[in-house]
Amino acid sequence: MLYLLIKAGISGVIIAVVSEVAKRSPGFGALIASLPLVSVLGMMWLWRDTSDPERLAAHAGATFWYVLPSLPMFLAIPAMLRRGMPFWPALGLGCLLTIGLYLAMTWAGPRFGLKL
């Protein structure tokens, strides 16, 4: 249980740091948020828990393919905000776009030989 709390605490600190830095410098906050910190921590936790190189390799490979469908959201949300859409609807539509693209990746990926 302590291990789970440590993992959650570290993850929460990262989110808090990103939001605080972004208040002062949106660009630097975005830089920190774009770092694959969650992915790296996830791989560290997975390695500590399993020490299974094949499982970790599969996880890292699948992470790459799942990052791709999330990228359009980071173009769509600012475009909607700049056109006057309120934040919450823009965020919701951006999330719906990402969910749709994740579903498309989950469906199409294996048809192209990707192991997701």
Residue 46 lies in a domain: no
Domain count across the chain: 1
Residue 6 lies in a domain: no
Q: Which domain holds residue 91?
A: 53-116
Q: Given this model, what pLDDT does residue 29 score?
A: 86
Residue 109 lies in a domain: yes
Return the exposure string of 50-67: e unless at least 16 CB atoms fall within 10 Å of the residue's CB, then b.
eeeeeebeebeeeeeebe
What confidence category does residue 64 fall into, taking pLDDT thresholds of 50, 70 and 90?
very high
Residue 92 lies in a domain: yes
The CA–CA distances, whole Å, from 92 to 25, 86, 98 equal 24, 10, 10
Q: Given this model, what pLDDT does residue 43 score?
A: 94
Residue 36 lies in a domain: no
Return the exposure string of 3-21: e unless at least 16 CB atoms fall within 10 Å of the residue's CB, then b.
eeeebeeeeeebeeebeeb
Q: Given this model, what pLDDT does residue 75 score?
A: 97
